[in-house]
Amino acid sequence: MPKLSHVCLAAGLAAAAGLAGPTALAAQADENAPKEDAMPAAAADPNQWLEDVTGDKQLAWVREQNARTEAELAGAPGFDQLETDILAVLDSDAKIPYVSKRGEYYYNFWQDAQHERGLWRRTTLEEYRKDEPKWETLLDLDALNKAEDENWVWHGADCLRPDYNRCLVALSRGGADADVTREFDLSTRQWVEDGFYRAEAKGSLGWIDRDTVYVSTDFGPGSMTDSGYPRVVKQWKRGTPIESATLVYEGTAKDMAIGAGHDDTPGFERDFVQRSIAFYNDELYLRGKDGTLTKVDVPNSANKSVQREWLGLELREPWDVGGKTYKAGSYIVTRFDDFMAGKRDFDVLFEPTDTTSLAGATLTRTQLVLNVLEDVKNKLFLYRHGNDGWSSTALDIGATELGTTSVGAVDADESDAVWITTTNYLTPSTLMLAEHPGEGRPETLKTMPVFFDASKDVVEQHFASSQDGTRVPYFMVRPKDLAFDGSAPTLLYGYGGFEIALTPSYSGTVGKGWLEKGGVYVVANIRGGGEYGPRWHQAALKANRHKAYEDFAAVAKDLAARKVTSARHLAAQGGSNGGLLAGNMLTQYPELFGAIVIQVPLLDMKRYSHLLAGASWMAEYGDPDTADWEYIKTFSPYQLFDPAKDYPATFIWTTTRDDRVHPGHARKMAAKMLAADKDVRYYENTEGGHGAGATNKQSAHVWALNYTFLWNELAK
């Protein structure tokens, strides 16, 4: 039931605050600077000066390190061709143009070689079915940037039904999480003069009606949480200054984010306020026409969704209610109005087992599709509600066994149609349309082109035994004729946090950068992730964080035991929270690896909660300013680094404009390793936000550096 995700805007803020993997600093220098009065004393840290993100001395250091890394990697034989090949993948005109339906049109944002910053465009379903649809351009970001002398990056648009002519467009400088919102008129293709405008900050605007919006943003001192997100949400009337907007809800500085949204589903119009206290800890309120708030009295830890007549809950903890106990990981539903009237009768549509978890729930106008993971493999079930309650049938879409299937509603207010996407490591993604799910096979609309030669490879799933005996799955892509003599260059990737599941997907970048060369690619489904639901995530929280790292090390050892590879030919790689994982592989398990790649990482866990959005992750890691530090210090790579120890070759990279995970983490770790004369190189892209780059060209360059480093080190 996805409706709540756009009804309650704080959910989007929570997602933006997160460390969810593979995908930004505000332009003002004072926002980049650490808040010294809120930080622990750091006299013992000689590298803290690198936390000043845009200081002249600091950026000179960055340029020096970039030049050193470029000289080694960009000058290597084959680099230029690899960068060209990766850019061709990213710029390909044959990629699937994924769309979202608004009214009669299907909208898409597109980047390629001719449109570096991108086009916002739309078409009809009739056109979209064609191999080469005719698109109507709505906004050209390259032209906008040239006209305004800016470096805008697309952050999305919220368009007002029923005619969808007015849109609130979010734009970010350089890919930062902080952005601006401007009102755009689709009928004229012009910005609305004196229209709604939200200045640059972390936050959002959302429609209530044509002349009224909800706004959560930086309203000045005291209006943002310690995590750097809005702590107040207001209602703002057209034609009035934003300063006069009326307060809807105010949270506390310790909350993560506050937001509100209007559900415009015909016949089910409602307003909600969401108070995100921490990850997987939020309160949901129904807002009456008089502004009064009534709490939806369900567990804070539950995933909540309200769509049409239904309230859906994915439980993260057992819940005793109405004389029954519902298991953690279950998905339960009831009628929303009945629940608000005091009834507590739920239908259980999914209950987990030791090997299953819920990957997603998609409600259409009259049906529900549940996406279930069984040992990290998808199965779809269609549910219908009738006079006798809910009935279900399995959906057969002919997906590959070791792959990923995802589902999304086309227009949940109007039809039962769903998009279905299938993919795996060796098979290009396919987009299908099931206009009437359960009635025959869905229609194939688009298929991603083949970007690399996968004919010589095979995908397998294996299980390693962790230190405490836990069975840990992992996927392996290897040459069919692998010698199993321990010599194969092997890249082991992981994440292990925030209940994010790593499932198979097709990547032309991985294919060109690694698989085509003959490398083995492995993805570890370690604890901390969501592969087996909430229990898998909760098993590696806070003081149990070490279990995620033990799992990853167990996979590394299993690869060696199977003679797929050996330490000198094995690399660990991870980004964001996965960068923390890679940092711990470096400092705690250096003997298992020949190379380490650490992307946009957390590394200094003593200070992480005082840097940018770090305070929002204390539910995951703990509070280093309390007794929690006793266990946090056992997985803080910056503190664990020992200049007397030997470490594998390391590549650390980040972006200057990452305003989610402070680039100081990466800078300081690199500086510490350089001072100890370790084998480390550092690269920092000036744009890109919490990712590799703001443009395809930037991303291609970073990934070419990444894979050149890995191949140079592991193929020796």
Q: Which two tokens stand for residue 293?
A: 């708030």
d(CA 85, CA 507): 13
d(CA 115, CA 153): 12
The CB-side HSE value for 561 (13 A sphere, CA atoms) comes to 10
622 torsion bin: left (phi>0), alpha (psi -120 to 50), beta (else): left
Sign of the C-alpha dihedral, residues 167, 168, 171, 175?
A: negative
Task: Sort strands 356-363 and 232-237 into parallel, antiparallel or unpaired.
Answer: unpaired
Q: Which two tokens stand for residue 439?
A: 């009635």
Among candidate residues 305, 690, 699, 701, the one labeled active-site is 690
Sign of the C-alpha dihedral, residues 640, 646, 648, 649?
A: positive
| Alpha helix stretches (DSSP H) within 55-148 | 56-69, 79-91, 125-128, 141-148
Residue 304 bridge partners (DSSP): 313
Residues 6+ apart with CB under 8 A from 318: 325, 326, 327, 328
Look at the block and give the residue holding tokens 């025959």. 440
Active-site residue, 690 included: yes
Among candidate residues 576, 609, 616, 636, the one labeled active-site is 576
d(CA 352, CA 448): 33
Residues 6+ apart with CB under 8 A from 403: 377, 378, 422, 423, 424, 427, 504
Q: Which two tokens stand for residue 473?
A: 């799955």
d(CA 674, CA 681): 8
d(CA 225, CA 235): 19
CB atoms within 10 A of CB 658: 29
| Alpha helix stretches (DSSP H) within 494-628 | 508-513, 534-538, 546-561, 577-588, 618-621
CA 667 to chain centre: 23
The residues annotated with a catalytic role in the active site are 576, 690
